[in-house]
C-alpha cells in the first residue's frame, strides 16, 4: 500500500501537467469500466461516475476537474449531451398532438417546478436557486423510448403526447436556467430581464429557422459526402453554443436548439448515426466521468448520516416522483385518458438524465447549487433512470392489447405475396462461397410470381482513370461471378438478368441499381459487424439498410435454401408491424413445402391464462396475414436471445425482423444483438431489414429507431 501511494505521488504530477496523459486515462476508463458494470447488471454511466469518484481529487487524485484538458472535454460532452437530447426529440410527434402535448407539457413542467422551488426554499436556498432547483425537476429524458418503439405503440396518443411534451419541458427548463444564471451574474433589473428574454426568443428563432434552412441547402449540394455533412453538423452545434454565450445565456441552450434545428435535416441518415456515435462513445462519457470528479465522497456518504442532507435527497426524489404523477393525473382528467395511459405518461416522464444533469453542473459551477444538491441529483438520476423504464415495460404493452385486429388493415405491409404482381430480387454477388445459396433463396421467392426475375449484381469500385488495371481485374472477376449466377438461376428455373455497375461506393451502387430495377427485395450475405471500424463507419449492409427503398434480406445460410423447411419466426404478440415478416416466412415455407412456427417469448411470471390469451392473439395475427393457421409457440423467458438460441436447435431457419434503433440521450451502450444471435443460433438465419419510412428520409421530422435486434419480442428483455 505504501509503495502504491508512493507510485501515485510520482505519477500524479505527470498526469496533472501533461494533457495527453489525462486523455489516455479518460479513454481507458471509457473503454474498460462501462462493460464491467454492465456485466454485473448496472448501467455503464454508473461505472463512469464511480470511476470519476475513484480517480478524482477525493480518491486517487489522478484526474482533476479543474485542469484545462478535463474541463474542455467535459464541456464538449455537456454540449454534445444537450445537442443529442434536442436531436432525438420527435417534432413530427409534437405536431400530431400539438395542443395536448402543450397541455401535458405545461402540467409536467409547472407542477415539478413549483414542487422543486418549495423544496429549495424549505432547505434554505434563495429564490433564484430554489427556482433553478424546480427547473431541474421540470424536464425529463425519454430514456424508455426504445421500449415503446419495440412494442409498436409509439403512435399511441399517450406516447405521442409525452414525446411532444419533452420539447416544452426541456426548452422551459433551459430558459429558466439561462435567466437564473443571468440573475446570479449581478444586479438584474426588470429591463435587463426583459432584454435577456427578448434576446433569447430572437436567438431561438434564428437558430431553429436559420440552421434548418442552411442545413438543408448544404446537404442538398453536398450529395453523399458524409464527411463534410458530419463536419457541418459539428460546426452548427458549437456555433450555436458560442452564439448563446455571446447573448449572455448558457451554451447548452444553444446546443439543444441546434439539435432541434438539424433534426429534420439529418433525418435518420448515416450521418446522424455517426454524430451520435462519436458523442456516445467519447465526449458524453467524459462528461459523466467529470460529474464523478466533483463528487466529494466523504461528504456524499456523510450527507446520508446528517438529517438535513438525507431529508433533501428524499424530498427531491419523492417530490419528483410525486409531482410527475400529479401532472400525468391532471392530464388524465383533462383529456379523459384511462389508467394505462396515465401510467405510461408518468413512467416516460420520470427519468432525469440529460437536461437535469447538464443544468445541475452549470448551476454548481455558477455557485447557485451546493454539493448536497448535486449529490441529491445524482441519486435522483439513478432512481428515476431505473424506475421509469421498469414502469414503462410493465404498462406500455397494455396499450396495444386491443389494437391488433383494427390496426392491421391500416398498416402498410412492405412485403407482398400476390402471384400476379411482378417480383424482382437484386442479389449482390461478391463471395463465391455464398453466391449459390443467395441465388437459390432469391429464386424461391420470385419463381411463383408472373414475370419474376433475379438481378445478380456486381459492383466495381470506380477510379479516376477508367483504364486502371485494377478496374479491369475487378470487372473480369465480376463477369465470372455473374456467369455462375446465371447458371444457378437456370438450374432453379428462374430468369436472371445480370448487371455490372461501376460506382464510387458499393452500398450506393447496390441501392441505386435496385431502385433503377424497381426491385422488391435485396438479398445479401451476412457481413462482418464486429470491430471498432465497423461500429464507427458501419459496413456495406448498414449503408444498404439506411438507403434502401425496399426490404433487405440479410442471410446467413448454412444449407441450401431448398432444404430449409422448419422455419421459426419470433414475433411480438401485441403489435402488427411485424406482419410482413410472417408473410415472408409463409411464402418461403410454401415454396419448400415446409412449416412456419410463430414464437412469442413472454415474461417468466406470466399466468397460464395470460399465455393462452397471447396464443390467441398470435393466431389472429397469422390468420389476418397469411389467411391460414400456423403453429404457435408461447415460451416464458427473461432473456429473448438465449431463448431463441435454445429453441432454434429444432429448426432449419430463424427469420428475424430488423427494427430501427435509437440511442437514448446519454445512453453509452451500443448493443449489437445481431452479433449475439450469430454467435448463439446454430441454424441458418435471415434478418429482414425494413426500408426507411418517408419520415426517416427527412420528408417529415419523424425519426424511427434503428436496431438490428430481437428486443421487440419482450418489453422486459434487456438489450
Look at residue 145 and tell me if it is in a domain.
yes
Block residue for cell numbers 389476418: 624
Burial 481-499 (b: 16+ CB within 10 A, else e): bbebbbebbeebebebebb
Q: CB within 8 A of 407, min separation 6: which ones?
A: 576
- Inform me whether the pLDDT recorded for 528 exceeds 60: no
Count of beta carbons in the 10 Å neighbourhood of residue 47? 25
Q: Could you tell me the pLDDT band of residue 395, with boundaries at 50, 70 and 90?
A: confident
With H, G, I as helix, E, B as strand and everything else as coil, classify residue 241. Answer: helix
Mark which of 365, 400, 435 sits at the end of a domain. 400
Is position 462 within any domain? no
CA distances from 5 to 2, 12, 14, 28, 714 (A): 5, 10, 15, 21, 49
CATH number at 247 reads 1.20.1530.20
Instruction: Give the 3-state secondary structure of residue 304.
Output: coil
- Cα–chain-centroid distance for residue 578? 19
**Residue 248, domain member (yes or no):** yes
Q: Average pLDDT, stretch 333-355? A: 85
**473 inside domain:** no
CA pair distance 371, 298, nearest whole angstrom: 11
Three-state SS letters, 383-443: HHHHHHHHHHHHHHHHHHCCCHHHHHCCCCCCCCCCCCCCCEEEEECCCHHHHHHHHHHHH
User: What's the pTM?
Assistant: 0.60
Residue 430 lies in a domain: no
- Quick one: average pLDDT of 549-566? 87
For residue 421, the model assigns a pLDDT of: 63
Q: Is the pLDDT of residue 268 over 90?
A: no
- As a whole number of angstroms, the distance between CA 78 and CA 284 comes to 7
Q: What is the pLDDT of residue 24?
A: 85
Q: Is 408 contained in some domain?
A: no
pLDDT, position 39? 77
Do the strands 552-556 and 521-525 form a parallel or antiparallel pair, or are they unpaired? parallel
Q: Which residue spans within 86-199 are E strands per DSSP? A: none
Distance CA 129, CA 179 (A): 11
> In whole angstroms, how far apart are CA 435 and each of 279, 332, 565, 652?
38, 57, 20, 19
Residue 306 lies in a domain: yes
Range of the domain at 615: 557-719
Residue at a domain's end among 355, 383, 400: 400
Collapsed DSSP state (helix, strand, coil) of residue 538: coil
pLDDT tens digit string along 6-24? Answer: 555 555 565 555 778 888 8
421-473, pLDDT tens digit by residue? Answer: 678 899 998 888 888 888 888 888 887 777 788 899 988 877 666 677 777 78
The structural domain count of the chain equals 2
pLDDT digits (tens, 9 = 90+) for 594-648: 888 888 887 777 778 777 877 777 777 777 766 666 788 888 877 777 888 888 8
In the listed set 400, 427, 448, which residue is the last one of a domain according to the structure?
400
Distance, CA of 582 to CA of 142 (rounded, Å): 31
* pLDDT at residue 386 is higher than 50: yes
List, for residues 678-710, the tens digit of each pLDDT value: 567 888 888 888 776 544 444 333 333 333 333
Quickly tell me which residue has 429524458 as its cell.
141
Q: What is the pLDDT of residue 114?
A: 93
Cell of 585: 416466412
- CATH code of the domain covering residue 602: 3.40.50.620
Determine, yes or no, domain membership for 423. no
Amino acid at each position: 500500500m505504501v509503495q502504491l501511494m508512493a507510485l501515485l505521488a510520482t505519477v500524479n504530477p505527470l498526469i496533472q501537467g501533461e494533457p495527453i496523459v489525462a486523455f489516455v486515462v479518460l479513454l481507458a476508463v471509457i473503454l474498460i469500466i462501462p462493460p464491467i458494470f454492465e456485466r454485473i447488471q448496472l448501467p455503464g454511466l454508473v461505472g463512469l461516475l464511480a470511476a470519476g469518484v475513484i480517480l478524482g481529487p477525493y480518491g486517487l487524485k489522478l484526474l482533476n476537474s479543474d485542469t484545462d484538458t478535463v474541463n474542455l472535454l467535459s464541456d464538449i460532452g455537456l454540449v454534445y449531451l444537450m445537442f443529442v437530447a434536442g436531436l432525438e426529440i420527435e417534432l413530427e410527434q409534437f405536431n400530431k398532438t400539438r395542443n395536448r402535448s402543450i397541455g401535458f407539457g405545461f402540467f409536467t413542467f409547472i407542477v415539478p417546478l413549483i414542487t422543486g422551488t418549495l423544496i429549495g426554499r424549505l432547505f434554505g436556498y434563495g429564490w433564484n436557486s430554489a427556482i433553478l432547483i424546480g427547473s431541474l425537476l421540470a424536464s425529463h429524458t425519454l430514456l424508455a423510448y426504445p421500449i415503446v418503439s419495440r412494442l409498436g405503440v409509439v403512435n399511441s396518443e399517450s406516447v405521442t403526447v409525452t414525446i411532444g411534451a419533452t420539447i416544452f419541458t426541456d426548452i422551459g427548463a433551459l430558459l429558466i436556467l439561462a435567466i437564473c444564471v443571468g440573475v446570479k451574474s449581478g444586479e438584474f433589473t426588470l429591463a435587463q430581464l426583459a432584454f435577456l428574454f427578448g434576446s433569447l426568443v430572437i436567438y431561438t428563432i434564428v437558430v431553429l429557422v436559420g440552421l434548418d434552412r442552411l442545413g438543408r441547402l448544404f446537404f442538398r449540394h453536398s450529395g453523399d459526402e458524409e464527411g463534410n455533412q458530419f463536419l457541418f453538423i459539428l460546426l452548427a452545434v458549437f456555433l450555436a453554443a458560442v452564439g448563446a454565450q455571446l447573448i449572455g445565456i448558457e451554451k447548452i441552450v444553444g446546443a439543444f436548439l441546434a439539435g432541434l434545428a438539424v433534426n429534420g435535416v439529418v433525418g435518420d441518415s448515416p450521418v446522424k448515426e455517426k454524430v451520435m456515435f462519436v458523442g456516445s462513445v467519447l465526449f458524453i462519457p467524459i462528461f459523466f466521468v467529470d460529474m464523478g470528479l466533483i463528487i466529494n465522497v466523504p461528504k456524499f456518504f456523510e450527507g446520508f448520516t446528517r438529517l438535513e442532507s438525507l431529508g433533501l435527497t428524499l424530498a427531491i426524489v419523492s417530490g419528483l416522483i410525486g409531482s410527475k404523477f400529479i401532472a400525468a393525473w391532471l392530464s388524465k382528467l383533462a383529456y379523459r385518458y384511462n389508467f394505462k395511459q396515465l401510467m405510461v405518461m408518468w413512467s416516460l416522464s420520470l427519468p432525469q438524465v440529460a437536461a437535469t444533469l447538464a443544468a445541475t453542473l452549470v448551476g454548481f459551477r455558477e455557485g447557485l447549487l451546493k454539493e448536497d444538491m448535486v449529490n441529491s441529483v445524482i441519486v435522483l438520476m439513478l432512481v428515476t433512470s431505473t424506475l421509469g423504464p421498469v414502469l414503462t415495460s410493465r404498462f406500455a404493452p397494455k396499450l396495444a392489447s386491443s389494437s391488433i385486429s383494427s390496426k392491421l388493415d391500416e398498416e402498410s405491409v412492405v412485403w407482398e405475396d400476390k402471384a400476379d404482381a411482378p417480383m424482382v430480387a437484386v442479389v449482390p454477388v461478391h463471395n463465391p462461397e455464398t453466391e449459390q445459396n443467395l441465388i437459390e433463396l432469391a429464386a424461391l421467392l420470385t419463381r411463383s410470381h408472373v414475370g419474376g426475375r433475379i438481378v445478380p449484381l456486381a459492383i466495381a469500385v470506380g477510379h479516376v482513370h477508367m483504364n486502371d488495371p485494377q478496374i479491369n481485374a475487378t470487372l473480369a472477376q465480376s463477369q465470372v461471378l455473374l456467369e455462375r449466377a446465371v447458371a444457378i438461376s437456370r438450374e432453379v428455373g428462374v430468369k436472371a438478368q445480370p448487371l455490372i455497375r461501376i460506382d464510387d461506393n458499393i452500398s450506393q451502387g447496390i441501392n441505386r441499381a435496385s431502385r433503377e430495377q424497381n426491385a422488391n427485395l435485396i438479398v445479401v450475405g451476412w457481413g462482418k459487424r464486429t470491430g471498432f471500424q465497423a461500429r464507427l463507419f458501419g459496413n456495406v449492409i448498414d449503408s444498404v439498410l439506411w438507403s434502401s427503398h425496399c426490404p433487405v434480406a440479410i442471410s446467413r445460410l448454412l444449407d441450401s435454401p431448398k432444404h430449409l423447411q422448419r422455419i421459426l419466426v419470433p414475433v411480438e404478440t401485441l403489435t402488427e408491424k411485424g406482419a410482413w415478416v410472417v408473410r415472408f416466412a409463409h411464402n418461403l415455407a410454401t415454396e419448400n413445402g415446409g412449416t412456419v412456427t410463430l414464437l412469442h417469448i413472454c415474461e417468466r411470471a406470466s399466468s397460464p391464462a395470460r399465455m393462452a390469451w397471447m396464443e390467441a392473439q398470435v393466431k389472429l395475427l397469422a390468420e389476418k396475414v397469411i389467411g391460414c393457421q400456423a403453429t404457435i409457440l408461447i415460451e416464458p423467458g427473461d432473456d429473448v436471445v438465449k431463448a431463441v438460441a435454445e429453441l432454434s436447435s429444432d429448426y432449419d431457419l430463424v427469420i428475424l425482423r430488423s427494427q430501427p434503433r435509437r440511442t437514448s440521450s446519454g445512453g453509452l451502450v451500443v448493443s449489437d444483438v445481431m452479433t449475439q444471435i450469430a454467435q448463439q443460433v446454430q441454424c441458418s438465419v435471415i434478418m429482414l431489414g425494413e426500408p426507411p419510412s418517408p419520415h426517416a428520409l427527412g420528408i417529415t421530422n419523424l425519426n424511427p429507431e434503428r436496431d438490428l435486434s430481437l428486443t421487440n419480442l419482450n418489453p422486459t428483455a434487456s438489450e
